[in-house]
Amino acid sequence: MTSSSTKFAIVVFPGSNCEGDCHYVATELLGCRAEYVWHHDTDLKGCDVVILPGGFAYGDYLRAGALARFSPVMESVIRFAMDGGPVLGICNGFQVLLEAGLLPGAVRVNRGLRYICRDVYMRVENASTAFTRLYEPGEVVKMPIGHGEGNYTAPPEALTRLEHESGVVFRYCDAEGNVTDAANPNGATAGIAGIANREGNIVGLMPHPDRCAEGILGNAVGRRMFESAVASLAPA
């Protein structure tokens, strides 16, 4: 599959606000095709990659992601993911994946109780998922975060499984790649910023690769997450 034939589905919930950024990366920067898929739709329009973008789906009422999970579109997304299709949840999209049970764990309010909007560093812990295969293992990447609830946790047995099965994809670190408490912006357990399922086709993270995908923004490191998805679809 060439990049121009890869088609991204970008799911739009009421309250999503990063769908345009994702659409722009897919079409303008990668030269792929992309379709917005409204939360009431159940047809993913033959897309090859599904992105759940950031925002405040359903106003984050009850809990972030809690109501979005019951959207009609999520049944199709769950089926697509279970069939091995690449699915990326960014920020609020990650919270939706957690609430839907596609990834383990939950997020709590940031330990400082504040919404945080700034760049963070992360270490790439798993460079073989559908969305990270164009990174180097152990590479340190800088991406922006913008969230009030990103304090990831999971039950002890789920954390053990994540660590043993390379489920941790990104960990907060300092600029040199050291995972320290000071470099952890929100208190997430074990500095976890992003995780994947065992097969590596479902990935979720709190930082925003869609907001650092072009040189003119001073940082294009996030673009490789989208390019990784295209590469993962290429015949071996």
Q: Looking at beta carbons only, is 98 or 183 nearer to another protein?
A: 98
Which residue from 30, 129, 34, 133 is spatially nearest to 87, judged by alpha carbons? Answer: 129
Q: Which stretch binds another protein (CB under 8 A): 4-12, 58-66, 124-132, 174-182?
A: 58-66
Question: What contacts 3, CB < 8 A, 6 or more positions away?
Answer: 30, 31, 32, 227, 230
Contact flag: residue 182 with another protein (CB under 8 A): no
Q: Which of 63, 133, 142, 161 binds another protein (CB under 8 A)?
A: 63
Q: Which of 40, 79, 111, 198 binds another protein (CB under 8 A)?
A: 111
CA angle 56, 156, 207 (to 5 degrees): 30
Contact flag: residue 125 with another protein (CB under 8 A): no
3-class secondary structure, 151: strand
Q: Looking at beta carbons only, is 134 or 158 nearer to another protein?
A: 158
3-class secondary structure, 38: strand
Identity (one letter) of the amino acid at 217?
Answer: L
Q: Looking at beta carbons only, is 108 or 133 nearer to another protein?
A: 108
Give the binding site for another protein (CB under 8 A): 62-63, 66, 70, 99, 104-106, 108-113, 151, 153-155, 187
